[in-house]
């Protein structure tokens, strides 16, 4: 895939973003006994701030990544892939996009968090070079923060 598949979300994408996030995270509701953080986010505000990047293939939005610059890192606030497109390497593509954005901004690390019960995500992030830095309880959720230094 090339970078032409990535674009900033616009206000007109709000419904698509909401549907994608709900379908990608919906199966976690039973596991953590509530909606995960991404399902509660203010997607309109993130889109308006230019933080939400969409991955398209064949005219369909199949994934997204929300990136928030911090003083010392680029926070991967949300990464989601449509269930119908999982297993195609799109999550890895989104994470590679985040790395490129961090490097372009002169940042030396990526940061993210995931729920403690989302063990499969923790394993994926570890395989991509992320290491746990702390565990916190915030926004009513038990989160694990992870970071990846950029060479």
HSE of 132 in the Cβ direction (CA atoms, 13 Å)? 12
Structure tokens at 78: 């949300």
pLDDT tens digits, residue range 12-29?
Answer: 999 999 999 999 999 999
Q: How far apart are CA 124 and CA 56, in angstroms?
A: 22
* Residue 85: per-residue pLDDT: 95
The pLDDT of residue 3 is above 70: no
DSSP letter (8 states) at residue 70 = -
Mean pLDDT of the chain: 94
Per-residue pLDDT band at 2 (split at 50, 70, 90): very low
Structure tokens at 51: 């933080």
Which neighbouring-strand residues pair with 7?
54
Sign of the four-CA dihedral 90, 18, 69, 27: negative
Name the helix (H) or strand (E) containing 30.
helix 28-32
The pLDDT of residue 45 is above 60: yes
pLDDT tens digits, residue range 105-124?
Answer: 999 999 999 999 999 999 99
The pTM assigned to this predicted structure is 0.94
């Amino acid at each position: 895939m090339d970078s032409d598949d990535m674009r900033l979300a616009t206000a007109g994408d709000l419904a698509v973003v909401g549907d994608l996030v709900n379908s990608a995270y919906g199966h976690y509701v039973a596991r953590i006994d509530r909606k995960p953080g991404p399902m509660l986010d203010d997607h309109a505000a993130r889109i308006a701030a230019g933080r939400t990047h969409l991955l398209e293939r064949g005219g369909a939005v199949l994934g997204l990544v929300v990136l928030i610059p911090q003083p010392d890192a680029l926070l991967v606030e949300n990464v989601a892939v449509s269930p119908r497109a999982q297993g195609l390497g799109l999550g890895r593509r989104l994470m590679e996009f985040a790395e490129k954005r961090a490097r372009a901004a002169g940042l030396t690390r990526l940061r993210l968090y995931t729920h403690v019960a989302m063990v499969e995500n923790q394993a994926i992030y570890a395989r991509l070079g992320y290491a746990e830095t702390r565990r916190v309880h915030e926004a009513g959720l038990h989160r694990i923060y992870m970071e990846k230094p950029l060479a």
